[in-house]
Amino acid sequence: MKRAVSVIYLLLFACGLAFAQATPYKVVFDLTSRDSLEQIAVMRWVKEISAAKPNAMLEVVMYGKGLELVMPGKSTQLSAVKEAMKNPNVSFAVCEGAMKNNKVSRDQMISGIKTVPDGIYEIISKQHEGWGYIKVMH
Amino acid sequence: MKRAVSVIYLLLFACGLAFAQATPYKVVFDLTSRDSLEQIAVMRWVKEISAAKPNAMLEVVMYGKGLELVMPGKSTQLSAVKEAMKNPNVSFAVCEGAMKNNKVSRDQMISGIKTVPDGIYEIISKQHEGWGYIKVMH
Amino acid sequence: MKRAVSVIYLLLFACGLAFAQATPYKVVFDLTSRDSLEQIAVMRWVKEISAAKPNAMLEVVMYGKGLELVMPGKSTQLSAVKEAMKNPNVSFAVCEGAMKNNKVSRDQMISGIKTVPDGIYEIISKQHEGWGYIKVMH
């Protein structure tokens, strides 16, 4: 009996620790804009965070017109995206629904870009898993 | 004693399962803009998600100038809103504070629209209950 | 054995209560815009919430160009900010990275403004602690 109660206290203590620990640096960025100011903003944040915290998990989810960030001829930030992708903790995910709506095929985007069936579901899944959420908009 | 420990393991296992299960499709959309591009965007997302996942729980919370989405004469998306409302899992909630600030009465909005005392509190309550959050902005 | 099981039921019940209780009024506002419409919007929300719920915890995190909200000569809402700061539950936090990027020193901002090393991390930490998140954008 006493041991069972001890186990319970240990569990509660462990739960307490779990809640008290520092926030992990995990952010999903929501990019729907084609505006170059938004492209510049999100890539600056990714670059700065990645430099200061190389273990930070960062994902930029693009839907609506956001996918232009990774399209040669449309993006003002192609080299920044390619540079950021060298860090395996940074990823870029394009919504396949947005690709269809905008008649964009895979070969119109730089290589190595992840696609997801549904950008909004990708974002809320990350939120559900405890990632922070930032809407990109200047 | 052994049974107590077994119960504890079962509980931990159940908790683990609860966290590991797929993210439920629940989204609260935050609409503060009167811009027709935002009206078009949110109604496209609601329509597409609703078609693909009829059980998805979706709520569009309107405050600021967002309430124009459901006002005849102001909205470009009235028929899309009415169509979306046929799905009982889709709801539209207007902030009563925004109605007051903008001198909008119930009869200036299409019928069947839910109102809430405080749009921001409605949004953060949904977030607290585990709904995903999407700020509508192109 | 029976007592151990009772304790477990009590714990589960307590957890259930914890999840069922009303959402606390805690909001972190994400301000990246220098647009006066955004400055007006966020200060109206802070004022209205603070008047209706004096215990609400509110924090406005400024990064990007958002820091102009608290800069004399740039802000259209200086007196509203000063008024809001009289409530100890309301705070304003400027990202030190944004200060550096925009070459803004502490003495260019009104006094009493908190600074944080990283505005995005400040926001996701609040989210992690259960605060609601609102992106400020009209």
Query: Over the stretch B101-129, which tens digit does the pLDDT of each residue have?
Result: 999 999 999 999 999 999 999 999 999 99
pLDDT of residue C37: 95
pLDDT at B2: 57
Q: What is the layout of strands, in order, in the sheet containing B132-135?
A: B114-116, B90-95, B57-62, B26-31, B132-135
pLDDT at C1: 52
- The model's pLDDT over A104-118, given as tens digits with 9 standing for 90+, comes to 999 999 999 999 999
Q: Say what percent of chain B tops pLDDT 90.
A: 83
Residue C93 has pLDDT above 60, yes or no: yes
Write out the E strands in A63-124.
90-95, 114-116
Which residues of C19-131 form beta strands (DSSP E)?
A: 26-31, 57-62, 90-95, 114-116
Q: Summarize pLDDT for A22-66 with one digit per residue, the tens.
A: 999 999 999 999 999 999 999 999 999 999 999 999 999 999 999
**Which tokens hold the place of A63?**
């839907």
What single string gives the DSSP state of each residue in C101-116?
HTT--GGGS-TT-EEE
Task: Tell me chain C's radius of gyration from C-alpha atoms.
Answer: 19
pLDDT bin (cut points 50, 70, 90) of residue B21 is confident
Q: What is the model's pLDDT at position C5?
A: 55
pLDDT tens for each residue of C69-91: 999 999 999 999 999 999 999 99
Contacting residues of C for B124, CB less than 8 Å apart: 23, 25-27, 131-134
| Cβ contact B23–A128 (<8 Å) | yes
C interface residues, A as partner, C-beta within 8 Å: 1, 3-4, 7-8, 11, 30, 32-33, 64-65, 97, 101, 118, 120-121, 123-125, 127-129, 133, 135, 137
- What is the average per-residue pLDDT within C4-16? 55
Q: Between chains, do B33 and C137 touch, taking CB under 8 Å as contact?
A: yes
Closest by Cβ to B4, choosing from C1, C23, C44: C1
**Do B72 and B106 form a contact (C-beta atoms < 8 A)?**
no
What residues in B contact C137, CB-CB < 8 Å?
A: 32-33, 135, 137
CB A54 within 8 Å of CB A86? no
pLDDT value of residue C99: 98
**Helix, strand, coil fractions of chain C, as percent rounded to 5:** 50, 20, 35
User: Which tens digits make up the pLDDT trace of C15-64?
Assistant: 455 555 799 999 999 999 999 999 999 999 999 999 999 999 999 999 99
Output the average pLDDT for chain B. Answer: 91
Angle of the A2-20 helix axis to the B2-20 helix axis, nearest 10 = 20
CB atoms within 10 A of CB C132: 23
Comparison of pLDDT for B9 and A25, the residue scoring more: A25
Confidence band of A12 (pLDDT split at 50, 70, 90): low
How high is the ipTM of this complex? 0.87
Contacts of residue C25 in chain B, CB cutoff 8 Å? 121, 124
